[in-house]
Structure 1
């Protein structure tokens, strides 16, 4: 059984969440008022509100819902973090590295991954997996409910993987051949807590 069969089977990073601080800056020239003349207050129509661009795409409404309760939320940063986490989780699972997986996975997902790692070890199998490149990464769904932000990210990746038995014979895959894999990964984060990290809660093959 190769790694993608296992990942799809367990139906399951996070990732380190990066914060972007936007600094406002006022530019231009204002003339000094004439002597003894009280400057007029700017009307509402003269004020230039600072507005962020509206979210776009199929997940726009859900992204707005998250941003409404979390002013630090930045979909671009989250997507970049998810991309990094994808590589970390895939390769850590292949290597059986529980320390890397633990902070990136929800408890139920971690249990399934560690069970699969243990079963593989009992069979004397080793797995080598390399993510050659991510062809596409998109947030396709998002939402907020019960103090939990949720995003679904679709990954299209080129991956090489190979499984060897205790005699070092190849029993599945081929590390010299790339396969295109498409999966939807769901990440969640509690918005009523100070922890900015997201964790993987589900993986579905597409």
Structure 2
């Protein structure tokens, strides 16, 4: 009796094992379609991970074009007129000429202009010292660019270089403003800045300036821009059209 039970139990176990092995062989086998789907899911997961990593590095840019135009209209002409009168102080002639610019260009603001002029001044002074004609081309009128380029070429022919550090602008004031009959706006600014500047010869010896001393510099520059028509006013860039030494 015990022998029969043992034999039956053994046979049952054998049958169960065979069934399990066959079932595993069927369930465990991957077709080529299965492999393709798995690989596709793996690629998609990797792409999502990469996209997320890139998204984390994205830096939002300032609003431009249409959004900027809407933002610009938030300041009314009346507010700018009040700013101009306050800006000019007792100089009624300067206030009147700045108002002439505002009448043609309703987005003109003397304070914003001065901020841009300060940036342009530093860029131009630095570009001239470095001999960067490409940058100067975007900031100077044709006549001034020609004058600056000749000075750079003469310096290069002599084998001289300028070592310069721009310390900062202490003060920037609007001295004059006008609009020509052709609608060309011009604004003259006096800059008081500080530089560390030294000119070296071919051998590297300092022949002008002082590489260890901060020098106070005063420049009077005139910037110009065409505001005669709506199309002209689309170009908001002012260019340096003249320089003069202080009295």
Instruction: From the two aligned structures, give the one with the greater strand fraction.
Output: 1
Which residue is equivalent to 1:55?
84
Check if 1:119 corresponds to 2:154: yes
State the SS of the aligned residue for 1:71: coil
What is the SS of the residue equivalent to 2:107? coil
- d(CA) in 2 for partners of 1:112 and 1:175? 26
| 1:90–1:129 contact (8 Å) kept in structure 2 | no
TM-score by length of 2: 0.63
Once the two structures are TM-superposed, the CA of residue 147 in structure 1 deviates from its matched residue by 1.1
Residue of structure 2 aligned with 1:159, choices 190, 195, 203: 195
Q: Deviation string for 1:24-58 (max 9, x for gaps)?
A: 7xxxxxxxxxxxxxxxxxxxxxxxx9831151323
Deviation at 1:129, TM superposition (A): 1.8
Q: Which structure 1 residue ranges, 4+ long, deviate > 6 Å from structure 2? A: none
Hey, what does 1:68 align to over in structure 2?
103
TM-score of the aligned structures, taking structure 1 as reference length: 0.75
Looking at structure 2, the residues matched to 54 and 170 of structure 1 have their Cα atoms a distance apart, in angstroms, of: 47
Unaligned runs of 5+ in 2: 1-67
The 1:65–1:89 alpha-carbon spacing in structure 2 relative to 1, beyond 3 Å, is same
- What secondary structure does 1:51 align onto? helix
Shift in Å, 1:23:
2.4
1:121 aligned counterpart, secondary structure: helix
CA distance in 2, matches of 1:98, 1:190: 23
Return the match for 1:84 from 107, 110, 119: 119
Give, in whole Å, the separation in 1 of the partners of 2:204 and 2:77. Answer: 61
- Name the SS for the 1:196 alignment partner: coil
The verdict on how the C-alpha distance between 1:50 and 1:84 changes in structure 2, with shifts beyond 3 A counting, is: closer
Q: Which of 133, 137, 144 matches 1:102?
A: 137
> More helix by proportion, 1 or 2?
2
SS in 2 for 1:55: helix
CA–CA distance in 2 between the matches of 1:135 and 1:170? Answer: 26
Which residue in 1 is equivalent to 2:245?
205
Match of 1:176 in 2: 212
- The aligned runs of 1:2-81 (5 Å cut-off) are 21-23=72-74, 51-52=78-79, 53-56=82-85, 57=88, 58=91, 59-81=94-116
Cα distance per residue 1:129-174 (max 9 Å; x no partner) = 2221111011111111121000001101111110001111111111
Larger C-alpha radius of gyration, 1 or 2? 2
Structure 1 portions without partners, runs of 5+: 1-17, 25-48
Where relative contact order (Cα < 8 A, 6+ residues apart) is larger, the structure is 1
